[in-house]
A and B are shown apart, each in its own frame.
Chain A
Amino acid sequence: DVKVTQSSRYLVKRTGEKVFLECVQDMDHENMFWYRQDPGLGLRLIYFSYDVKMKEKGDIPEGYSVSREKKERFSLILESASTNQTSMYLCASSFAGANQPAYNEQFFGPGTRLTVL
């Protein structure tokens, strides 16, 4: 059974703290993604990675950084948390390559609901 896990379901941090969100997948996927989800705004892409040590900015990268040192693990870092980063954070992974449904499907983790006070 395919699995994407995230380090915490709920997290409460204070303004200015450095926050690490961890994501691990066991499907040997090349691609990994970080989204944030806010009511009425859908899923917005923060960063994605298509290989170890590679990263690409998504639509809203400001205030975030990422790290991918191993294929199965993709970390999202909030360098200095702010209240406007209170959100649900979703990690996903997928195969890379051909234009086939199996390669297009993204598998999501359960999400981390982050509250910044």
Chain B
Amino acid sequence: GQSLEQPSEVTAVEGAIVQINCTYQTSGFYGLSWYQQHDGGAPTFLSYNALDGLEETGRFSSFLSRSDSYGYLLLQELQMKDSASYFCAVGSQAGTALIFGKGTTLSVSS
């Protein structure tokens, strides 16, 4: 079967750093993506890793290790507005369907 595992909840305070891990087991692999979804909103794309290593976009970074079937999303200098659900997703074929994890709810407090 195909599955992605990520923690269900993470809590942190403003200004802190938090890491959301994702391990995957899929029949094919065409990159690991991360999406953010605020309560009541639509998921929005955050980052994508096709190759091993770290990709940085402002306060957010994403890491991939294909040999370990593992990746993480790193959020730095947390702000209240970062409170949301974060989903990792794996593409089994370029440009087509993604398999999503069940999501991690991040709560940032002051």
Contacts and interface: CB of A to CB of B under 8 A. Distances in A.
Contacts, number: 69
Nearest to B47: A101
Interface residues on A, range: 20 to 34
Interface of A: 30-31, 33, 35, 40-45, 48, 50, 56, 58-59, 90, 92, 94-99, 101, 103-111
Interface stretch (B12-20, B74-82, B89-97): B89-97
Given A99-B30, A99-B50, A111-B42, A42 B100 contact: yes
Contacts of B60: none
Interface string B1-31: 0000000100000000000000000000011
26 contacts: A30-B95, A31-B95, A31-B96, A42-B87, A43-B87, A43-B100, A45-B97, A50-B96, A58-B97, A90-B42, A94-B95, A95-B95, A96-B95, A98-B94, A98-B95, A99-B50, A99-B94, A99-B95, A101-B50, A104-B30, A104-B31, A104-B91, A104-B95, A108-B42, A109-B42, A110-B42
